[in-house]
Structure 1
Amino acid sequence: MSALKSASAHLGRLALSSTSRATIPSTKLAIHTTRSWSSAASRSSLLPSKTSRYPTFQTTRAFSATSSVAHGHVHTPKPGEELYVTFIDKDGTEVKLAVCEGDNLLDIAQANDLEMEGACGGSCACSTCHVIVTDDTYYERMPEPDDDENDMLDLAFGLTETSRLGCQVTMTKELDGLTVKLPSMTRNLQASDFKS
């Protein structure tokens, strides 16, 4: 047991000596020294293994993280491959956007800070991304809404013959030039509100 204490004391001295003032900016000295010592002292990876006759050390791996991705995986279209969609907000203001094929209206609206809630995160379980297609020609080019979308549209405020859920409308070349109107208000009723 005394060998274990002396080994850990030696490792502690090494950890402290590696955090000298010469290598750490003065503004970060106290924080860095405290973190290094407390994390080094508390990690079992720095202590000799208890199952082996000879001291062995476990390896630890550094943690890394990537930066966050823009909302909804909306990408910037390549030159010449842009599709255009126009949103008419509640105040009548038109916003024309260049988008990529495959992006859905909910993600496009949220990525561009338009007022579309999408309470369910685009899983077709609410009606807060309700949009009204202004041109029947474009509405006819869209795939038929499935039963889940129709059920949620029944809960939407201001339902029309050309109403769709923004999360279910994916931009295609056939929809290039689409214009949708955002209703004056939405109802945040979700499918889970009606389950017993």
Structure 2
Amino acid sequence: MSEITVTFVQKDGERRHFTAASGQTLMEVGRAGDVRGILGECGGACSCGTCRVVVEDEAQRRLVGDAGGLEADLLFFFDDNPPGTRLACQIRLAPELDRLVVTVPQD
């Protein structure tokens, strides 16, 4: 498995860098690293919205697909979704996502 570097930018601007294995979800990496705002209360079942992130413009092109189905439905209930908002539980890391940078909009 490939190692992938991901960066979480906290609401206060702090940057947290992690190395993760291909196949992990971004939520799993954030929870394991105690990233503020990545709660994942549903354990990755796409039913709570507590792992919202904003994917940087450049990286949005590298994601496989847009938010759809359950993810899009859940994001609809949040008023403050800037462009690029996704659920970290729905982003499965792959080599093409190496150096992914996301912002965590909540604490």
Please say whether Structure 1 and Structure 2 have the same fold, judged by a TM-score greater than 0.5.
yes
Give the structure with the larger helix fraction. Answer: 1
Q: 2:22 matched to 1:104?
A: no
**Structure 1, gaps ≥5 residues long:** 1-77, 186-196
Amino acid at match of 1:123: A
Match of 1:124 in 2: 46
Structure 1 moving runs of 4+ over 6 Å: none
Matched-pair contact (CA < 8 Å) for 2:3–2:95: no
Is structure 2 residue 48 aligned with structure 1 residue 145? no
Q: Is the 8 A contact 1:128 1:156 kept in 2?
A: no
Q: Following TM superposition, by how much is the alpha carbon of 1:157 offset from its aligned partner in structure 2, in angstroms?
A: 5.0
Counterpart Cα distance in 1 of 2:26 and 2:40: 10
Aligned partner of 1:160 among 46, 63, 82:
82
- Distance (Å, rounded) in 1 between the aligned partners of 2:79 and 2:9: 16
Counterpart of 1:169? Answer: 91
Shift of 1:120: 1.4
Change (3 A) 1:179 1:157: farther
Question: Which one has the bigger strand percentage?
Answer: 2
1:154 Cα deviation after fit: 1.1
Residue in 2 that maps onto 1:75: none
Normalised by the size of structure 2, how large is the TM-score?
A: 0.89
Q: Specify which of 6, 14, 18 is matched with residue 93 of structure 1.
A: 14
Q: Aligned partners of 2:43 and 2:19: how far apart in 1? A: 22
Aligned Cα root-mean-square deviation (Å): 1.5
How far the C-alpha of 1:89 sits from its partner, in A, is: 1.1
Q: Distance in 2 between matches of 1:82 and 1:130?
A: 23
For residues 92-129 of structure 1, give each alpha carbon's deviation from its aligned partner in whole angstroms, at most 9, with x where no partner exists: 10011111101111110011111211121110012111
Structure possessing the higher relative contact order (Cα contacts under 8 Å, 6 or more residues apart): 2
Cα drift, residue 155 of structure 1: 1.9
Kindly tell me the number of residue pairs found equivalent between the two proteins.
105
Q: Is 2:107 the partner of 1:179?
A: no
Structure 1 pair 93–117 and aligned structure 2 pair: CA distance change class (3 A):
same
Runs of 5+ consecutive residues of structure 2 not aligned to the other structure: none
Structure with bigger gyration radius: 1
